[in-house]
Amino acid sequence: MTDTSQATIPKRYPFSDPHRLDVDPRYALLRRDEPLTRIRMPFGEPAWLATRYADVRTVLADRRFSRSASIGRDQPRNTPRQADEGILAMDPPEHTRLRRLVAKAFTARRVEELRPRTTAVADELVDGMLAAGPPADLVAHLATPLPIRVICDLLGVPVADQGRFHTWSEAIVSTTSLSPETAESYIDQLLGYMAGLIAQRRETPTDDLIGAMVRARDENADRLTEDEVIRLAAGLLAAGHETTVTQIPNMVYVLLTEEGGWERLGNDPTLVPKAVEELMRFIPLGATAAFPRYATEDVELGGVLVRAGEPVVVSLHSANRDEQVFADPDRLDLAREDNPHLGFGHGVHHCVGAQLARMELQVVLETLLRRIPGLRLAVPVSELTWKSGLLVRGLTAMPVQW
């Protein structure tokens, strides 16, 4: 074990600007030679970066690495603003108290009850795309509206307001795409909007998730503060659609550009559930590491001594390409059997909506394979445009034909 925190000059991080869905080859070198390395992000104090699967799981699940300890610190980050991350900046038991309140809405059984309705929405949206005729933008016609409608139904948010809150939600995943002032304004507007919906629920109770949160708050104020209700509802609305909106075209893009991917699924649609898991592993959704954990005591990690009070960030997509865990990790294997990927995170902050996202992604792929088996890109790959300045990678538009 070595103690190099003071002697090592931190590497500039991210190592490079995201390019499409490529994984920087430096991650493989680090996993081999320096699995825990010192980095400096554009803002905040230096940090450790964990790149191996085992170390990433440890940081995400070991109670000696704390999210709440980041509050009040100059956190390593990609944006000049220090965001109030709500439940994402909590440790148990505070985190458990909030998560338990919403977790029952995202159980496998509850999500399966939503599958027929989600399939009907997907078919309706594909009808519209076919009626518009090729070339059609998959992002605008399908990838954006479907997750928004699903999360709106679950929460009880008017779909008619989607234009507003989808715009505001960018502030949640923005690094440099918005100015600090605009990001703060968008978040304030999103919180104000949710406060208005919560006030409506008090006048007219409902059975949706927001209604359930309001009842929990009003029946036992010790369980939930008013601010927690507002921030939790806003976070669920934003996170509940933003990443899936991005991941749908990412998955279709990979299937259409990795040789034989789309045809393989078309020939055997029963592979879709395994394919979704493999695509979650294969696609580097995050543009950069985020959400640092702080060591609460000295911890040995990856052969290095992390001192108490030092922050550690993790690379999920490096962990998902770890040769020690995944056979031939840089190859897309749609029938991969053993796939303990970290695409939805790990530990107490494992994505609460993972089952919902899985179901939506499966439904979209199944619907497209059934309805448009001849789907293909309408422009060369070099002409596709990609989002920038966000925590996630994705296409701004995806022209397709059939």
Three-state DSSP class for 395?
strand
Strand partners, 50: 36, 314
Which residues in 182-291 belong to E strands, given as ranges? Answer: none
- Residue 214, judged by CB atoms within 10 A of its CB (0-12, 13-18, 19+), counts as buried
Q: What are phi and psi of 337, to 5 degrees?
A: -85, -55
pLDDT for position 3: 62
- Residue 194, judged by CB atoms within 10 A of its CB (0-12, 13-18, 19+), counts as buried
Which residues in 199-338 belong to E strands, given as ranges? Answer: 293-295, 299-301, 304-306, 311-314
Domain borders along the chain are 11-401
Report the C-alpha gap between 294 and 288 in whole angstroms.
18
pLDDT for position 86: 82
pLDDT for position 57: 98
276: CB partners within 8 A, 6+ apart: 251, 358, 361, 362, 365
Eight-state DSSP code of residue 143: I
pLDDT tens track, the chain, 402 positions = 666 555 578 999 999 988 999 999 999 999 999 999 999 999 999 999 999 999 999 999 999 999 999 999 999 998 888 766 688 899 999 899 888 888 888 888 889 999 999 999 999 999 999 999 999 999 999 999 999 999 998 889 988 898 888 888 888 877 778 888 898 899 999 999 999 999 999 999 998 889 988 888 888 766 778 888 898 888 888 887 889 999 999 999 999 999 889 999 999 999 999 999 999 999 999 988 999 999 999 999 999 999 999 999 999 999 999 999 999 999 999 999 999 999 999 999 999 999 999 999 999 999 999 999 999 999 999 999 999 888 899 999 999 999
Q: What region, left, alpha or beta, does residue 184 occupy, with left being phi > 0 and alpha being psi -120 to 50 degrees?
A: alpha
Q: What are phi and psi of 312, to 5 degrees?
A: -130, 130
Which two three-digit tokens encode residue 56?
């990433």
Nearest to 65 by CA among 316, 350, 310, 315: 310
Nearest to 312 by CA among 287, 295, 288: 295
Helix-, strand-, coil-residue percentages of the chain, each rounded to 5:
50, 10, 35
pLDDT for position 376: 97
Report the C-alpha gap between 300 and 287 in whole angstroms.
27
Query: Average per-residue pLDDT in the chain?
Result: 92
Three-state DSSP class for 309?
coil
Our CA angle for 87, 93, 95, nearest 5°, is 10
Q: How far apart are the first and last CA of the chain?
A: 57
Instruction: Round the CA-based radius of gyration of the chain to a whole number and report it.
Output: 21
CATH of region 11-401, choose from 3.30.43.10, 1.10.630.10, 3.40.50.740, 1.10.1740.10: 1.10.630.10
